[in-house]
Chains A and B, each alone.
Chain A
């Protein structure tokens, strides 16, 4: 009897709460906390990896890392043409052979733990990156010595000449200066939880605050920052698992901003909202078509080149990407090489597609792959499949989740014939693009295509920095028909109207990254 009564009471209680919650106005207005005063609330689509300055090599965690850590150099934010600027270095020189670099360091800078920033921090910061040895460690792996003349004058010598070294230091993924005190207290220990997963010891305008992995990540303004105080006292990155909810929250004022991730139609919808400001920034991200060298249908060089010439890539980019990208006739990202050196060798032939449909590709089925995480690649794949099917060449667009995508492309003749991938260089250097995409050792030469002589040309150009050599690379890779750059992606951001500084905060290199400290609340 008691059990029956208890059940009835609990049931009644829950029912009352249910009815009250559904019929009463919610105390919080039904919105999970719109920003108040000095807090900027940004939406993250999906959780991030741990924001460690020496492992963060992809994704939104970089917005957090780069708010708390700084390197010696950077790029002037908000400018399309990449321009080096001093961050923790105020002056720098490079030797004629690109091997010896000197730096005058900024004085009066303190790490968040109170340690003064001096030349000591450089060697220990580089050492940590090398000891961890992950993706971005190659940026410091070539350093032979770091010699401090005094606390604020340093000479870095490389083992091999590298004309891109200053750009590597300025990269959004570049080496960050970390407090030597913190590095001593928290050495690199493989296989255990790292203190740097949720704490920071940088010099940036923000410090790491409360982290609730999978839910939210908080930054707090650093009172001892050497530069201008950041626009907001605090920044919260709130994790959402679907873009539709972010869209609703943006329109409802539940979040203040979204950086990146929108597809063309979503961006168009957000752009039309009266209460939102939508931004599209130039970047070096370049959606590119890769052709499988072992494709049964496209392995023949003449067929492959004819196929490349048969596609109106400008029209394809316009249709598939709309306002989220601009078509390109370049091979490298447009701001990396002078236009006269950065041209496609294969030009559009309006008659080629019909000839292929009747000839070499009659009866063939072209499989076009994309990774589902990338809206640009999917849009291009779907639209190219439609173009080919419309011309009488059977084609299918196939999406892969991230974990399966790269492996699927290594299956030789059984792999898809084509894939679209929207990639970016690590930094504003032609070498950073060419090595990664056009050499099998680079990592994003997705089908492992290898054009004779290209790797040697890139090696030579890395030493000298000669743009003409990169121009030769552009000619050879575009002639091969293994790659076709399609467009320049625009970095997208949507913020509540009145929030300022967003247009001055974008990175000239990659999308999805803003200088958060430059964003300011409405006046």
Chain B
């Protein structure tokens, strides 16, 4: 276990270093220049040159990269040129927003996976229709589901809000997760309002992964139920639900969990679009505006956070996998 943790940490550092190097190289090779956006369009050529020098953007790429790494080791992520605020301050505001959205999306994806797996297991014409609908939903990109959700549940029915995280203003709670903050503060109205706000974006991000996991789970359960040990269990008098719970689900969960890691990675990517559609003040929204403004410090920091998160999630999935399935060893 210790060896596993060390290996994963070392590989994470290497991966994140390469990621940073790529970001710096690609952004500079592309000729992106954040200074005009930083100063304002009408800034004189002299003002632009002075700002470029002051910000160190006139330095060779390797010098800029070295300065960034030096700052990073001291916890300084630099200044966000698109907002003029420290990147660390921006991240502190936005990480909880993305975390809340991602957590709800994962919860919904797991619930949907179980429900959809049941639907996949059904037989008959109705089941075929359900499978077709689910397959179509899984094929739809998150932005399409998000847009359809906004048009139907906000614009037409007025059931759910279409933007932001709450109607009551930002939470001053300790976690930055608004639903949880509302509950911890004993303010159910705030928690409920925050839940309504997170519902549509989280569902838009969750449906695709939910269906994908459901299909793997359903196939696994179906295969397990036809296996020799399931037949043996039946002959020993175990009920079908016990066989599903004790044997089939456990065996089928291994590939489903592996897929969950991949799907969460893809879900993080889709959150960039989902946050944009729902004006959700998270990392995705910040990343979109930072890329447009060539705000390299912001792009690098967000990539570090998302890359680190992706590695962490996959590591956790590996650990859970080893716990659920004793045949799996952590390496």
Residues of A within 8 A of B (CB): 10-11, 14-15, 17-18, 21-22, 25-33, 46-50, 52, 55-59, 133-138, 173, 190, 193, 197, 210, 212-216, 238-242, 244-245, 248-249, 251-252, 254, 372-373, 401-404, 406-408, 411, 423-426, 436, 440-444
Closest 7 CB pairs between A and B? A403-B294, A57-B40, A58-B40, A135-B43, A403-B32, A214-B281, A407-B31
User: Are A197 and B289 in contact, with the CB atoms below 8 A?
Assistant: no
* Max chain A Cβ within 10 angstroms of own Cβ: one of B30, B154, B199: B154
User: Are A213 and B93 in contact, with the CB atoms below 8 A?
Assistant: yes
Q: Which residue of B lies closest to A251 (CB)?
A: B155
User: Are A28 and B42 in contact, with the CB atoms below 8 A?
Assistant: no
User: Are B279 and A245 in contact, with the CB atoms below 8 A?
Assistant: yes
* Max chain A Cβ within 10 angstroms of own Cβ: one of B89, B168, B294: B294
**CA of A210 to CA of B271, assembled, Å:** 27
User: Are A31 and B161 in contact, with the CB atoms below 8 A?
Assistant: yes
A18 CB contacts on chain B under 8 angstroms = 108, 111, 199
* Max chain B Cβ within 10 angstroms of own Cβ: one of A46, A215, A372, A373: A215
Q: Can you list 18 contacts pairing A with B, beta carbon distance less than 8 Å?
A: A11-B110, A21-B160, A22-B199, A28-B167, A32-B163, A58-B42, A134-B40, A173-B40, A210-B169, A216-B169, A248-B154, A248-B162, A373-B292, A401-B292, A403-B32, A436-B42, A442-B45, A443-B44
**CA of A376 to CA of B153, assembled, Å:** 32
User: Are B291 and A401 in contact, with the CB atoms below 8 A?
Assistant: yes
User: Are A402 and B37 in contact, with the CB atoms below 8 A?
Assistant: yes
Give the contacting residue for A241; candidates B83, B89, B275; CB below 8 A.
B275
* B window 82-114: CB within 8 A of A: 82-86, 89-90, 93-94, 107-108, 110-111, 114
B169 CB contacts on chain A under 8 angstroms = 210, 212, 216
A17 vs chain B, min Cβ distance (A): 6
Residue count of chain B within 8 Å CB distance of chain A: 75
Q: Is B51 an interface residue (CB 8 A)?
A: yes
Give the contacting residue for B159; candidates A14, A26, A197, A404; CB below 8 A.
A26
User: Are B111 and A15 in contact, with the CB atoms below 8 A?
Assistant: yes
**CA of A27 to CA of B36, assembled, Å:** 45
**CA of A426 to CA of B40, assembled, Å:** 11
Number of A-B residue pairs with CB-CB distance less than 8 Å in the complex they form: 216
B159 CB contacts on chain A under 8 angstroms = 21-22, 25-26, 30
Q: Is B223 an interface residue (CB 8 A)?
A: no
User: Are B285 and A241 in contact, with the CB atoms below 8 A?
Assistant: yes
B25 vs chain A, min Cβ distance (A): 15
Q: Identify which of B189-197, B225-233, B258-266 touches chain A.
A: B189-197
User: Are B277 and A30 in contact, with the CB atoms below 8 A?
Assistant: no
User: Are B33 and A403 in contact, with the CB atoms below 8 A?
Assistant: yes
A373 CB contacts on chain B under 8 angstroms = 292
Q: Is B312 an interface residue (CB 8 A)?
A: no
Q: Is B170 an interface residue (CB 8 A)?
A: yes
